[in-house]
Every structure is written in structure tokens, then in C-alpha cells.
């Protein structure tokens, strides 16, 4: 059997990699500082003990006053020491409270050099990630792109809104425009254009049949399709509507010129112009 080498154990990374590891000199320095503080404390206590013994063995008449002065001096020193500690603590708290909460001590003068480099690298990394995660297209499906002429335009609603214009211009060309129930739409159609094509004779030129069928397909996709229309679909519908409106307007004007239903046709043309202007401002 082949023997595999034991897995190499990696030492755990330090929790704060920017902190310098404690060297032997740092340990010796802390030991020396602690020993110095201990020596000062022992010297103070030894001097206090020696003074107390001298006062007890003294035969002077001012023994009591000397004792009061000696111990009073130590008490004053202790009180002053605690007062200095309290004042420094209070001043430190006031200084910290005066620092704005939004201030982050990450400058070169606030943290060690390695810590500053680590923080700077992390900030750069976060900035790159935030830049990459930003949306590039800035376009919602079915809506016009910001900063263009189609801004705030919902293509599905805009395409379906053209039915009102087409119905307004097709209604006077139907057999009996004064009776709405006598002009039903053709089966599976969304406008009156297929109804005009079904008439014999039809007021719509036969050459416009492909445009009418294409227009109906766009309407069906806009109303029932799962895919949102885009700028291309919208522009194509606008061009088709412009051609159909132009041709049907000429047909209506020719009918007006022949004296057939002048008042009704002129009224419908006025309504068509009003609807067209309203749709243009939407």
C-alpha cells in the first residue's frame, strides 16, 4: 500500500495582520516598566513604614503633630494622584466625545503604516466591486431609455393607444357610422381596419393589406404577448399608423369632396385631429 505524506498543517493567520508581532525587546521593555513601577511602590511603602517607626520611637513633644503632618502629606499625595487620574480620564472622554461620529481614524497619522495600506487596499477593492456591480444599460424592459426621446414611454401602452386614432379615422368609412352596433369589429381583430378590408368595395386600397395585417400583429403582441415591445416595434407601429392615417384621410377627403356625408365626415375629421394631438402630447 502506498503511504501518503501527512497533511501539512498551516498556522492560523493572525487576527489583525497589520499589527506588528511582539518581539523579545517589547517583552523586555514591558517587564522593565512593570519592575520599575513595583520598585517605586515598594520604595514608597518602605519610606512610609520607616517614618512611622521613627515617629513611634520619637520622644519629641511634637510627636502627634509630626504624625499628622507625615500621614497628611501622604494622604494629600494620594488624593492629588487620584485627582490627576480623574482629570485625565475626564479630559480624554471629552476629547473623544468631541470627535465626529463619522470620523474614521484610518489616516497615515492615525494607524500604523501596514494598517493604513491594508485599509487602502480594502477600500480600493470595495470601490472596484461597487463599480462592476453597477447596471450598465440603465434600461427597463418595455420602457424607453433615459435621456432619449422615448424616456418615460411604455411601449406596450403607446402601441395600444394607437387603436383610438385608427378607430376614429375608420369609423366614418364604415357602412353606418351613426349606429355603433351595426359596425362590429372583425373576428380576432383589435381595430376596425380588418372590417374596412372586408367591405365590398373596400375604401382601403388593396396595397395596404400587408400593412393592416402587420399592424394587427403588433397590436396582438402588445396586448397578449409575454415579451415586452421595444423601440423597434414602437417605431414600426408609428410608421404604419402614419401611412394608414394619411391614406384614410385622403379617402375621407375625397368622400367629402363628392358630397357624401359632408357634415358627419367633417365632424369625424375634427375629432381625429383632436385625438391625434392628444396622443402626441402623451
What pLDDT digit, counting tens, does each position of 64-102 carry? 777 788 788 888 888 888 899 899 889 988 888 887 777
Boundary (domain end) residue, out of 132, 163, 195: 132
How far is residue 233's CA from residue 116's CA, in Å, rounded to a whole number? 55
Residue 19 lies in a domain: no
Q: Mean pLDDT over residues 19-41, rounded? A: 81
Highest mean pLDDT among 65-79, 130-144, 186-200: 65-79
Residue 47, SS3?
Answer: helix
Question: pLDDT value at position 258?
Answer: 55
Does 240 lie in the same domain as 186? yes
18-27, 39-48, 107-116, range with the lowest pLDDT = 18-27
Distance, CA of 137 to CA of 114 (rounded, Å): 39
Residue 177: name the closest of 66, 61, 263 by CA.
263
Q: Sorting pLDDT into bands at 50, 70 and 90, what band is 183?
A: very low
Tell whether 3 is covered by a domain.
no
Q: Are residues 56 and 121 in the same domain?
A: yes
**Does the residue 10 lie in any domain?**
no
What pLDDT is attached to residue 87?
92
Number of domains in the chain: 2
Whole-number Å distance between alpha carbons of 49 and 60: 19
Compute the mean pLDDT over every residue in the chain, rounded to the nearest whole number: 75
Looking at residues 126-152, what average pLDDT do you find? Answer: 80
Mean pLDDT value of segment 253-272: 54
- Is 140 domain-assigned? no
**Lowest-confidence range among 1-5, 35-39, 199-203?**
1-5
How far is 62 from 72, CA to CA, in rounded Å?
15
C-alpha cell at 269: 375629421
Planar angle of CA 14, 18, 19, nearest 5 degrees:
75
Beta pairing partners, 154: 143
266 shares a domain with 200: yes
Indicate the SS3 state at residue 60: coil
Residue-level pLDDT at 176: 61
In a domain, 149, yes or no: no
Same structural domain, 169 and 117? no
For 151, the 3-state DSSP assignment is strand
Residues 61 and 177 in one domain: no
Do residue 31 and residue 95 come from a single domain? yes
Most trustworthy range by pLDDT among 93-107, 140-154, 177-191: 140-154
What band does 109 get if pLDDT is binned at 50, 70 and 90? confident
pLDDT digits (tens, 9 = 90+) for 218-242: 888 888 888 888 888 999 999 988 8
Which span out of 21-30, 160-169, 266-275 was modeled with the highest average pLDDT? 160-169
Note whether 118 and 171 are same-domain residues.
Answer: no
- The rounded distance, in Å, linking the Cα atoms of 157 and 144 is 12
Given this model, what pLDDT does residue 255 score? 62
pLDDT of residue 32: 93
* Residues 49 and 125 occupy one common structural domain: yes
When mean pLDDT is compared across 64-73, 157-166, 195-204, the lowest value belongs to 195-204
- Between CA 253 and CA 250 the distance in angstroms is 5
- 252 Cβ contact list (under 8 Å, min separation 6): 169, 172, 173, 265, 268, 269
Q: Residue 159: inside a domain, yes or no?
A: yes
Residue 174 inside a domain? The answer is yes
Q: Which domain holds residue 238?
A: 155-281
Residue 8 placed within a domain? no
**Is the C-alpha dihedral spanning 187, 190, 195, 198 positive or negative?**
negative
pLDDT band at 275 (very low <50, low <70, confident <90, very high): very low
Q: Do residue 275 and residue 159 come from a single domain?
A: yes
Amino acid at each position: 500500500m502506498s503511504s501518503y505524506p501527512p497533511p501539512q498543517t498551516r498556522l492560523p493567520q493572525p487576527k489583525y495582520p497589520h499589527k506588528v508581532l511582539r518581539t523579545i525587546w517589547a517583552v523586555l521593555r514591558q517587564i522593565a516598566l512593570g519592575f520599575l513601577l513595583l520598585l517605586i511602590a515598594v520604595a514608597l511603602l518602605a519610606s512610609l513604614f520607616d517614618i512611622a517607626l521613627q515617629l513611634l520611637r520619637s520622644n519629641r513633644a511634637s510627636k502627634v503633630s509630626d504624625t499628622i503632618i507625615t500621614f497628611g502629606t501622604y494622604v494629600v499625595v494620594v488624593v492629588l494622584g487620584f485627582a490627576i487620574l480623574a482629570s485625565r480620564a475626564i479630559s480624554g472622554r471629552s476629547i473623544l466625545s468631541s470627535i465626529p461620529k463619522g470620523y474614521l481614524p484610518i489616516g497615515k497619522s492615525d494607524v500604523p503604516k501596514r494598517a493604513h495600506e491594508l485599509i487602502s487596499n480594502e477600500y480600493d477593492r470595495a470601490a472596484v466591486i461597487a463599480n462592476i456591480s453597477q447596471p450598465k444599460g440603465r434600461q427597463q424592459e418595455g420602457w424607453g431609455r433615459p435621456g432619449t426621446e422615448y424616456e418615460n414611454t411604455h411601449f406596450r401602452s403607446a402601441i395600444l393607444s394607437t387603436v383610438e386614432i385608427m378607430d376614429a379615422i375608420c369609423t366614418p368609412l364604415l357602412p353606418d357610422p351613426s349606429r355603433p352596433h351595426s359596425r362590429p369589429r372583425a373576428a380576432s381583430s383589435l381595430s376596425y381596419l380588418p372590417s374596412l378590408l372586408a367591405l365590398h368595395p373596400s375604401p382601403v386600397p388593396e396595397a395596404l393589406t400587408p400593412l393592416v395585417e402587420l399592424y394587427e400583429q403588433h397590436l396582438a403582441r402588445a396586448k397578449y404577448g409575454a415579451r415586452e415591445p421595444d423601440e423597434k416595434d414602437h417605431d414600426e407601429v408609428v410608421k404604419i399608423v402614419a401611412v394608414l392615417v394619411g391614406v384614410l384621410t385622403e379617402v375621407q377627403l375625397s368622400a367629402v369632396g363628392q358630397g357624401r356625408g359632408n357634415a358627419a365626415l367633417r365632424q369625424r375629421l375634427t375629432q381625429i385631429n383632436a385625438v391625434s394631438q392628444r396622443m402626441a402630447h402623451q
